[in-house]
């Protein structure tokens, strides 16, 4: 029997926002006003600026024990960044954020290091192909291939049977799409839990995404539309469940934890997807953090640590 999820209205009350979160948001907005137009620069330059720490995403320390392995993919080798202890207790397959256009497999090293060090997980972050150079279905195809490899060879490679999956923003979208693809295309449901943080699940844009405007808290309405345009270049139906997993049959998917900030333009994506997850008969937990911006778990603000600790507790099971 599934447990109900609740939406606490207190999370959306202005007085509930920690001062540190409010101050961080003010800094994000000020930084966005001073920054050049990312869409005039182009993806290659934005990627370079990210590496130099010139965007809201902090350049964080990289894991000293990470190694790169390669697996076979639909269009050639797929690099996977591995952070793992000697005898893993589980395998966590991770897809990074970045609007299917930006981001790298090493950008979440600090959080994956915590999973490896504190929970004993072998963390595998997939370096999937990025748009606009490689539009849909390239990224999802790479993630599907990585998930199949983990399902079929992960236990033999890492000595752990328990499989977990997750990601942030575009990575959460890719995780949801991958779970549905494995079930429908391969008859597989190998992952026991899913971590879906601030996902984008409707390419037609949910109300919060449409109405947020360009008040830049990491992400604005224009950004969401531009990322989707990079990803979808061949007239894809935006209601296609493989494009917008909010419209998929979600039955038989694993328990999931959904995390989002109340000041994320994709907050409706999470609220709607969590509700549909439960309606499909699956288990779900939902946490909405007051005042937090998009993918706040990667940002230096007060809500990040407790939210990520709850994610860790959920994945630990």
- DSSP secondary structure string for all residues of 219-248: B-HHHHHHHHHHH--S---TT-TTT-GGGS
CATH number where 217 lies: 3.40.50.1820
221 within some domain: yes
Catalytic residue among 109, 264, 268, 269: 264
218 within some domain: yes
Catalytic residue among 169, 208, 244, 292: 169
Overall pTM > 0.75: yes
Helix (H) or strand (E) holding 3: none
288 within some domain: no
- Please tell me the distance from the alpha carbon of residue 215 to that of residue 102, in angstroms, as a whole number: 20
**Count of domains forming the chain:** 1
Active site includes 184?
Answer: no
306 within some domain: no
- Please tell me the distance from the alpha carbon of residue 216 to that of residue 159, in angstroms, as a whole number: 44
C-alpha Rg value of the chain to the nearest Å: 18
Strand, coil or helix: 53: coil
73 within some domain: yes
Beta bridge partners of 259: 197, 287
200 within some domain: no
Q: Give the pLDDT of residue 54.
A: 79
- Please tell me the distance from the alpha carbon of residue 9 to that of residue 5, in angstroms, as a whole number: 13
Intra-chain end-to-end CA distance of the chain, in Å: 17
Q: Give the pLDDT of residue 14.
A: 87
User: What is the extent of the structural domain holding 37?
Assistant: 9-192+210-249
Per run of 10 residues, the mean pLDDT along the chain (length 317 residues) is 82 95 94 91 92 80 97 96 97 98 97 98 98 98 98 98 98 99 98 98 98 92 97 97 98 98 98 97 98 96 98 97
44 within some domain: yes
Active site includes 63?
Answer: no
Strand, coil or helix: 21: helix
Q: Give the pLDDT of residue 1.
A: 52
Active site includes 173?
Answer: no
């Amino acid at each position: 029997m599934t447990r109900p999820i609740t939406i606490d209205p207190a999370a959306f009350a202005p007085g509930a926002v920690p001062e540190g979160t409010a101050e961080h948001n003010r800094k994000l907005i000020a930084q966005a006003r001073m920054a050049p137009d990312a869409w005039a620069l182009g993806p290659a330059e934005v990627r370079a600026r990210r590496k130099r720490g010139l965007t809201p995403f902090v350049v964080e320390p990289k894991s000293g024990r990470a190694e790169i392995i390669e697996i076979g993919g639909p269009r050639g080798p797929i690099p996977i960044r591995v952070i793992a202890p000697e005898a893993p207790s589980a395998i966590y397959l991770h897809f990074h954020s970045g609007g299917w256009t930006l981001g790298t497999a090493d950008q979440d090293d600090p959080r994956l290091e915590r999973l490896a060090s504190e929970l004993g997980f072998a963390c595998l972050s997939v370096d999937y192909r990025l748009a606009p150079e490689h539009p849909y279905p390239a990224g999802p195809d790479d993630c599907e291939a990585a998930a199949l490899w983990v399902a079929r060879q992960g236990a033999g490679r890492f000595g752990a049977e328990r499989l977990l999956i997750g990601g942030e923003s575009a990575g959460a979208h890719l995780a949801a799409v991958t779970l549905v693809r494995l079930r429908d295309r391969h008859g597989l449901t190998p992952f026991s839990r899913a971590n879906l943080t601030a996902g984008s699940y409707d390419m037609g844009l949910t109300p919060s995404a449409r109405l947020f405007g360009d008040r830049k808290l990491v992400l604005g309405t224009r950004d969401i539309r531009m990322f989707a345009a990079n990803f979808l270049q061949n007239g894809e139906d935006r209601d296609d469940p493989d494009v917008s997993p909010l419209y998929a049959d979600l039955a038989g998917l694993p328990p999931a934890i959904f995390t989002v900030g109340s000041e994320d333009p994709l907050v409706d994506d999470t609220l709607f997807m969590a509700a549909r997850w439960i309606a499909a008969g699956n288990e779900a937990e939902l946490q909405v953090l007051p005042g937090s911006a998009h993918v706040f778990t990667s940002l230096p603000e007060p809500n990040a640590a407790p939210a990520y600790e709850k994610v860790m507790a959920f994945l630990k099971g």
